[in-house]
A and B are shown apart, each in its own frame.
Chain A
Amino acid sequence: MEFLSDFFVAPIMEMVDAPEFLAEVIIAGLMSGVMYSLVGLGFVLIFKASGIFNFAQGVMVLFAALNFVGLMDSGVHPIIAFIATVVIMTVLAMAIERVVLRRLVNQNQLILFMSTIGIAFFLEGFGELIWGGNVRPLDIGIPDDVVFIANGTILIQEADLFAGATAALLVTILALGFRYTAVGRALRAVADDHQAALSIGIPLNNIWVIVWAVAGFVALVAGIMWGTKLGVQFSISIVALKALPVLILGGFTSIPGAIIGGLIIGAGEKVAEVYWGSLFGGAIEEWFAYIVALLFLLFRPQGLFGEKIIDRV
């Protein structure tokens, strides 16, 4: 009885008593959620266009951030470092297409998935070889003041606002690009029907390069945000694995799903940690996302926005 009351009643009372605090917790959660969203977005792009589950997406975040911070540390201006890293990620996309994907075309999905595990290990090792294995602090001059909103009752980090705005901008640009350009149309075509896309002569190889390059770009943005908060370190690629539950929640083929799924997981795990954490001895944050994912797998396997899974008969 007492546990039930601790579980169901007490946390809600706390929330009602101090709504400003709840708001702050949610906002902090949304911040990490943005990161999950961006990693998830990279996954979805590649999955939609090629059916490949890209295990290396998390490591791409790390790799992009490493290159960026490494260049900056050697005295390159942030903007130049950013452009150079975009170029590096594009070249990487071309290399992956040439060396891996082109050779494995028509292989089954498991083999392609395995190849991305290979890519992940390669990138991690290669990144460490070039830039070393130390944690590198990253400062691109984002203001780290706090601002108060709602009559000064809610406190927000400016850096969080900045991150949120950047992510929103990125997603908007991608969405517009998908909808209104010929390349976007070709990408949607490939995602919709592979065979039909081939039959009208959409060059799949180019499509792969484009989606991997875009996924690399998204990874860079995520890496920079993460890096400014936590420093660029190898654990980034592990935290990025949280994108998996995000995708289960949002659906593997839905871009809005990845975004909203990331935000829900981010906010949810923070709220769970703060209000329910003590009941479970803390560290709920570590596994909350996976429990949510499990529940979704049981009751709604296509996710919130994924296409309904219907077997063709």
Chain B
Amino acid sequence: MAENLLTVENITLRFGGVKALTDVSFDILKGEIRAIIGPNGAGKSSMLNCINGFYHPQEGRITYKGQTRKQMRPYEAASQGIARTFQNIALFRGMSVLDNVMTGRVLKMKSSLLEQAFYFGRARSEEISHRSKVEEVIDFLEINAIRKTPVGRLPYGLQKRVELARALAAEPELLLLDEPMAGMNVEEKEDMSRFILNVNAEFGTTIALIEHDMGVVMDLSDRVVVLNYGEKLADGTPDVVRSNQAVIDAYLGASH
């Protein structure tokens, strides 16, 4: 039985009158790929945002690596090894691919930003020592050829990949991916699937993945949690979830 990495319990999140999440509980085991699926507006992104501290749920608890909190703060989440990508790509558009990936190392720097601002020499030598990890990630995701390109000029599929690279540069324990394949063509999807599986297999990174493409979900994930209108509808292995009547109804009822 694998160890528990993250447990969310009875999470309720409201925006004014809108309930984005209602009493949602599930867990993520160390080393697994956990998919979160559901129709549009089901609350999937909101769930990730609660986990990495962007949203603060009104009710419920989050237990990560044995520590229970009512809510996370983004800085806290990041420094405890939670990295993520975004549904709408959130790269630093003015910077090169290499610089974007380098920013992922910010928490691994030994001296704080404040120290670095006032103490130059150490900053330089730190920089060099971080380059090797960044190069490794760049090789791994096969983006060597575009390392100097400003990310704003890259096609959508590659931008998604750079965003994954930035997250990986932080050597996360838990990687949150919000629709990493949205808007990609078949070939790009295959590449991305392969990268996700490799990250999981080679680095042992635990992954929570939001994805609409059911084929991809079935191929990649160990377990699936299904949300609908902010509530948990089902939870289990892909096969179990796929044959769940409530899930089938929710998907047939929703327009896609």
Contacts and interface: CB of A to CB of B under 8 A. Distances in A.
Given A186-B113, A206-B112, A210-B114, A198 B74 contact: yes
Interface in A183-221: 183, 185-186, 188-189, 192-193, 195-204, 206-207, 209-210, 213
Q: How large is the interface on B (under 10, 10 to 19, 20 to 34, 35 or more residues)?
A: 35 or more
Interface in A11-64: none
B interface: dominant SS: helix
Contacts of B86: 195-196, 199
Contacts of A185: 95, 99, 102-103
A201 B54 CA distance: 12
A182 B105 CA distance: 10
Contacts of A198: 54, 74-75, 78
Contacts of A196: 86, 90-92
A278 B84 CA distance: 63
Contacts of B78: 198-201
A150 B111 CA distance: 52
A207 to B, nearest CB: 7
B107 A209 contact: no
A45 B170 CA distance: 27
A183 B94 contact: no
A97 B120 CA distance: 23
A203 to B, nearest CB: 6
A interface: dominant SS: helix
B90 A210 contact: no
Interface residues of A, number: 24
B79 A201 contact: yes
A193 B90 contact: yes
Given A185-B102, A188-B92, A192-B92, A201 B75 contact: yes
A189 B167 CA distance: 14
A181 interface: yes
Contact of B95 (A188, A201, A202): A188
A192 B113 contact: no
B83 interface: yes
B90 A189 contact: no
A200 B54 contact: no
Interface of B: 52, 54, 74-75, 77-79, 83-84, 86, 90-95, 99, 102-104, 106-107, 109, 112-114, 116-117, 120, 123, 126-127, 166-167, 170
Interface of A: 181-183, 185-186, 188-189, 192-193, 195-204, 206-207, 209-210, 213
Given A199-B54, A199-B83, A200-B166, 4 more contacts: A181-B120, A196-B90, A197-B103, A199-B86
13 contacts: A182-B116, A182-B126, A183-B116, A188-B92, A188-B94, A192-B91, A193-B90, A196-B86, A198-B78, A200-B78, A201-B78, A201-B107, A206-B112
5 A-B pairs closest in CB distance: A201-B78, A196-B90, A192-B92, A198-B74, A201-B107
